[in-house]
Amino acid sequence: QVRLVESGGGLVQAGGSLRVTCAASGSAFSINDMGWYRQAPGKQREFVAGITVPGSTNYLSSWQGRFTISRDNTKNTVYLQMNSLKPEDTAVYYCNAASASTLIWGQGTQVTVSS
């Protein structure tokens, strides 16, 4: 069984940067693709970025250029570097991972961007 734990969220001023981290534990050897989603208050959860085991990435076009996803397979960890943050980036950021035909979610980490 795989467990995902996000960390690194917090309060940042507009224009600042933040890196959120997602660490997998348990049967992490079974993890394939990983990704980040976010959910702002009153809105649906939306895709931000995804990354395969070898490191191929894809982004929703809105984020590309400001957000960068990466992973360290030796640490079973995926990262999301967020730059030039805007107040509209305020949301709970969730990590997910595909494992044995199952999609696993973390509990989320809050990112708040002040204007």
Q: Per-residue pLDDT tens for 10-52?
A: 999 999 999 999 999 887 778 899 999 999 999 999 999 999 9
Confidence of residue 1 (pLDDT cuts 50, 70, 90): confident
Q: What pLDDT shows up at residue 74?
A: 93
pLDDT tens, position by position, 73-82: 999 999 999 9
Range 60-67 contact pairs with CB under 8 angstroms and sequence separation of 24 or more:
none
Say yes or no to pLDDT of 100 above 90: no
| Mean pLDDT, residues 82-101 taken together | 94
Strands (E), the chain: 2-7, 10-13, 18-26, 31-39, 46-51, 57-59, 67-72, 77-82, 91-99, 102-105, 109-114
Quick one: which of 35, 28, 74, 75 has its CA closest to 52?
35
d(C-alpha 20, C-alpha 18), whole Å: 7
Phi, psi of 43, deg, nearest 5: -120, 165
| CA distance from start to end of the chain | 40
The percentage of the chain sitting over the pLDDT mark of 90, rounded to a whole number, equals 83
Say yes or no to pLDDT of 111 above 80: yes
pLDDT tens, position by position, 64-73: 689 999 999 9
